């Protein structure tokens, strides 16, 4: 049965159930406590500031993918902002840095181009890698296929000087679960071990 107040709402409009959001957040908080992970909220997926204020502090940081998302994140909260973009431009990069705590690069050339700024601003830096492993069946939405421009490929990893890079970023899952994540970590560990042995003999 549709309640009376729903019948009075103008259309089209978004109807958001805050109780349901709270219930989902309780599940996430339970998982965080069990696994000791940090949870980032991706503004790309939902950026309504009127609703975000109700639950944003349940997260450990914000994931941004543009200057405007990074700026919105800083306006909404004091949580750390992690910014990743497949490409950055000279004109806006300094502004992105001013709103970000972590900058993640998509390629070695990107890192080389902007590393002076990152080091001078004392920002934490990560680089996206392409694990070249995915269980996504649909080619069009698989970010790890052989021709993908997302992330540094295995054969390029040995060219990276990790002394100023604090972590790696990867994305290869779509509506999948912990078994896929475990399989991916196994592949990444083997690749990094291979690079380490190749470098050190």
The CATH number covering residue 182 comes to 3.20.20.10
Average pLDDT over all residues of the chain:
88
Cβ pair 83, 103 in contact under 8 A: yes
Q: What's the total number of domains in the chain?
A: 1
Residue 12 covered by a domain: no
- pLDDT at 200 > cutoff 80: no
CA 134, CA 36: separation in Å to the nearest integer?
A: 25
Q: Locate 132 and state its tokens.
A: 């070249």
Residue 6 covered by a domain: no
Q: What is the pLDDT of residue 3?
A: 61
> Residue 32 sits in which domain range?
17-200
Of residues 81 and 32, more confidence is placed in 81
- pLDDT at 178 > cutoff 60: yes
- pLDDT at 145 > cutoff 80: yes
- pLDDT at 197 > cutoff 80: no
For residue range 85-103, what is the model confidence (pLDDT) as tens digits?
999 999 999 999 999 999 9
Distance (Å) of CA 146 to CA 9, 98, 128, 132, 133: 48, 34, 15, 7, 9
Length of the chain: 201
Question: What's the pLDDT band for 70 if we cut at 50, 70, 90?
Answer: very high
Distance (Å) of CA 110 to CA 29, 157, 177, 178, 179: 35, 14, 31, 31, 32
Residue 3 covered by a domain: no
Q: Which of 124, 128, 92 is nearest to 109 (CA)?
A: 128
Cβ pair 99, 121 in contact under 8 A: no
The reported pTM is 0.85
Residue 7 covered by a domain: no
**Ranges 105-119, 166-180, 187-201: which has the least confidence:** 187-201
């Amino acid at each position: 049965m549709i309640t009376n107040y729903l019948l009075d709402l103008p259309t089209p409009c978004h109807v958001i159930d805050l109780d349901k959001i709270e219930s989902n957040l309780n599940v996430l908080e339970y998982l965080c406590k069990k696994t000791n992970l940090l949870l980032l909220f991706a503004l790309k997926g939902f950026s309504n500031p009127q609703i975000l204020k109700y639950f944003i502090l349940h997260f450990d940081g914000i994931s941004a993918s543009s200057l405007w998302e990074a700026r919105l994140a800083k306006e909404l909260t004091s949580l750390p902002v992690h910014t990743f973009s497949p490409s950055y431009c000279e004109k806006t990069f300094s502004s992105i840095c001013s709103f970000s705590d972590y900058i993640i690069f998509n390629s070695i050339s990107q890192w080389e181009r902007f590393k002076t700024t990152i080091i001078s601003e004392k920002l934490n830096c990560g680089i996206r890698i392409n694990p070249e492993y995915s269980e996504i069946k649909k080619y069009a939405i698989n970010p790890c296929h052989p021709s993908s421009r997302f992330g540094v490929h295995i054969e390029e990893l040995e060219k990276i000087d990790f002394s100023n890079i604090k972590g790696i970023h990867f994305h290869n899952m779509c509506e999948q679960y912990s078994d896929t994540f475990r399989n991916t970590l196994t592949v990444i560990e083997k690749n990094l071990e291979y690079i380490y042995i190749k470098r050190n003999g």
